Amino acid sequence: MLRRFKERFQGRAGKAQTAAGRAGNPGQAEGYPQPRENRKILVVGQGDSFKEAEMDYALNLAERLGYDLIALNVGPGPATAATFLTPYRKYQRDEFSRRAREAARVFKDRVTAQGLNFIHLVKFGDLGPSIEQINHEIKRVELVITATDITDAEVMAEVNLPFFTLKGFSEEKITTGGREMRQMRPWGKTIAWGIGTAALYAATFLNSGTVMKYFTRGGWYAALPIMTVFAFSFVHGAFAHHLWSALGIEATKKVVQPRPEAKRPVRRQRPRPELRLNA
């Protein structure tokens, strides 16, 4: 597992180096990919993704200062080598790394589009030690930026770097790669509601004789078809909702509260009594 991790990083390092190679950078320290020996900003993501706010902020800052960027995702679980883990834990780690890489790809595109160097790292364990480890392994990391919910004190105790937390962005969309979104699709819920829907339909149509007998009696029996359609619309509606989102068809997030473009003056005062001369 460890070897696979190293291979993966080194593989990426190779790519990073080719990008950095033009600048004449040989650098790689202790198995980690290194952009050229420029100053760097370390951006710590939230779980396996990065927030829009921290990406924007870090990118702007890096652009202004001419720094490179290192993106870091820190996964849950012990910092021990992957060889000592259970298969399930290994699987979880692999999944975390994969999602983190997907998220970082978006970030990378934006950074490289600005002509800056970028590397992405995934670590497991506590945040403080992970950052400190990178600080030791990679030269010239100047500051840390994050939009995570962690309190500064937790990390400050262990990290010897200026540490900036972006506040007030908690509601903002967490930007991850499209592939990750697909991974989170609710197939389980779709199947569960689908079974519920199928059961309701089976119950109705297998007993259609009885159903039709009572449902068409009229009068107070009118409540039966009405209650039935409400129940169906709830269960089948939930199934349909999950099905579309499982298929990746979801509302785009840009539509929040569309307003008509009325530029009319709002007339608020009531008409005032006026003196008129009746001639």
Partner 1 sequence: MDAGVHEAVQFIDLNTTAVLFLFVVGFIGGLVSGFIGSGGAFVLTPGMMSLGVAGTVAVASNMCHKFPKALVGAYKRYKYGQVDIKLGLVMAASAGLGVLVGIKIQEWILATWGQAGSNLYVSVSFVVILVIVGGYVFLDAWKTAKKGGEEMVSSLALKLQKIHLPPMMYFKTANVRISMWFTLPIGFATGMLAATIAVGGFIGVPGMIYVLGASGLIASATELVIAFVMGFGGTIKWAMMGMVDIRLTLIILAGSLLGVQLGAIGTTYVKEHMIKVVMGTIMLIVAVSRGLAIPKYLKQLGLINLNDGIIAILGLASFISMCIALAVGAIIIIGAMWRAKAKTAGEEVYEKA
* Rounded least distance, CB 150 to partner 1, Å: 22
Do strands 50-51 and 174-175 pair parallel, antiparallel, or not at all (unpaired)? antiparallel
In terms of CB distance, is 4 or 173 closer to partner 1? 173
Q: Which is nearer to partner 1, 260 or 273 (CB)?
A: 260
CB of 243: closest distance to partner 1 in angstroms?
7
Please identify, using beta-carbon distances, which residue of 39 and 105 lies nearer to partner 1: 105
Q: Rounded to the nearest whole angstrom, what is the least distance from the CB of residue 242 to partner 1 in the complex?
A: 10
The amino acid that residue 59 corresponds to is L
Name which of 252 and 278 has its Cβ closer to partner 1.
252
Q: How far is the CB of 193 from partner 1 (least distance, A)?
A: 11
Closest approach of Cβ 94 to partner 1, in Å?
A: 23
Residues 245/185, Cβ–Cβ less than 8 Å: yes
Q: Measuring CA to CA, how many Å separate 277 from each of 152, 169, 270, 274?
A: 76, 63, 21, 10
The per-residue DSSP string of the chain comes to: -HHHHHHHHHHHHHHHHHHHHTTT---EETTEE---S--EEEEE-BTTBEEHHHHHHHHHHHHHHT-EEEEEEEESS-SS-GGGS-HHHHHHHHHHHHHHHHHHHHHHHHHHHTT--EEEEEEES-HHHHHHHHHHHSTTEEEEEE-SS--HHHHHTT--S-EEE--S-TTSPEE--HHHHHHT--HHHHHHHHHHHHHHHHHHHHTHHHHHHHHTS-GGGGHHHHHHHHHHHHHHHHHHHHHHHHTT----TT-SS------PPP--SPPPP------
Q: Report the residue number, 162 or 225, with the smaller CB distance to partner 1.
A: 225
By the criterion CB under 8 A, which residues form the site for partner 1? 52, 106, 110, 171-173, 175-178, 201, 204-205, 208, 211-212, 215-219, 221-226, 228-230, 232-233, 236-237, 240-241, 243-244, 249-262, 264, 266-267, 270-271
CB of 211 to partner 1, least distance (A): 6
- Nearer to partner 1 by Cβ, of 160 and 170: the residue is 170
Residue 49 or 117 having the CB closest to partner 1 = 49
Please, what is the minimum distance in Å from the beta carbon of residue 55 to partner 1?
10
Query: In whole angstroms, what is the distance from residue 151 CA to residue 148 CA?
Result: 8
Minimum distance from residue 238 beta carbon to partner 1 (Å):
9
91 versus 201: smaller Cβ distance to partner 1:
201
